[in-house]
Amino acid sequence: MNIRRNTLPRQGFSEFVEQHNLTLVLAEKNKGGWSAHLEGVEIQDGCLLGSCYGHGHTVRDAVLGLAHAASLQRLVVDAYKSSRREIMAPLLHLDAKAENELTASAARP
């Protein structure tokens, strides 16, 4: 039997952020928890642009939510600037480097 498996493209979150020269922004919410987004990045849905955020009780949960929200989406960076660019995001996952950086940032005040 011949089997061909077509898989989705995958990439670690930190590798994706570095490859596309993006900045991860983390914000503590005043009622507890965290939100995460990529600075200047929006999701394109047809002719509309929407925000791309992750939310969670911890920084890790927020970034994991962001990775899930951005996965397999057309991302628009700097939508209203001359530096506008579009990126088709692969299926994103938290790689070891992202886990280590998030753990280190959680230890800092």
Residue 32 has pLDDT above 90, yes or no: no
Residue 91 lies in a domain: yes
Q: Is the full-model pTM beyond 0.85?
A: yes
Whether 32 maps to a domain, the answer reads yes
Give 13's strand partners.
Answer: none
Which tens digit of pLDDT belongs to each residue from 66-108? 999 999 999 999 999 999 999 999 999 998 888 888 777 765 6
Is the residue at 103 inside a domain?
no
Angle 16-17-21 from CA coordinates, rounded to 5°: 115
74-77 and 41-45 strand pairing: antiparallel
The answer to the question of residue 64 being in a domain is yes
Please check the confidence at residue 109 and state whether its pLDDT lies above 70.
Answer: no
Q: What's the chain's average pLDDT?
A: 92
| Domain presence at residue 1 | no
In a domain, 107, yes or no: no
> Would you say residue 3 lies in a domain?
no
Q: Which domain range does residue 78 map to?
A: 10-96
Overall number of domains in the chain: 1
User: Which sign does the torsion angle of CA 48, 54, 18, 95 carry?
Assistant: negative
